[in-house]
């Protein structure tokens, strides 16, 4: 059972890494320093990747908590 959860967590972690790397680098700290004076919304594929990143991060967190309690 524990091996199954660790395998699922590994797959989710790899997916989360891929999703983070697929996101655009525009709008990070550069816009906070005064680089752009406009608000840009996410649309299309960028919004889907952003939402999936949040979902994968949440699943990864839950799997981590489950694995901590399975050790006992």
* Chain segment 10-67, per-residue pLDDT in tens: 999 999 999 999 987 765 554 555 555 566 677 888 889 999 999 999 999 999 998 8
Kindly state whether residue 33 falls inside one of the protein's structural domains. no
Kindly state whether residue 53 falls inside one of the protein's structural domains. yes
Kindly state whether residue 39 falls inside one of the protein's structural domains. no
pLDDT of res. 42: 73
Whole-angstrom Cα distance, residue 54 to residue 16? 9
Residues 6+ apart with CB under 8 A from 37: none
Count the alpha carbons within 13 Å of 71 in the hemisphere toward its beta carbon: 5
pLDDT of res. 35: 54
How big is the CA angle at 51 (ends 8 and 11), to the nearest 5 degrees? 15
pTM reported for the whole predicted model = 0.74
Segments forming the whole domain that contains residue 64: 1-14+46-72
Kindly state whether residue 70 falls inside one of the protein's structural domains. yes
pLDDT of res. 41: 74
Tallying the residues shown for the chain, one arrives at 72
């Amino acid at each position: 059972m524990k091996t199954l959860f660790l395998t699922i967590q590994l797959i989710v972690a790899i997916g989360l890494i891929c999703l983070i790397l697929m996101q655009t680098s525009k709008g990070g700290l550069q816009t906070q320093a005064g680089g752009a004076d406009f608000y840009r919304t996410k649309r299309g594929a960028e919004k889907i990747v952003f939402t999936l990143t949040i979902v994968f991060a949440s699943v990864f967190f839950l799997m981590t908590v489950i694995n901590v309690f399975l050790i006992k």
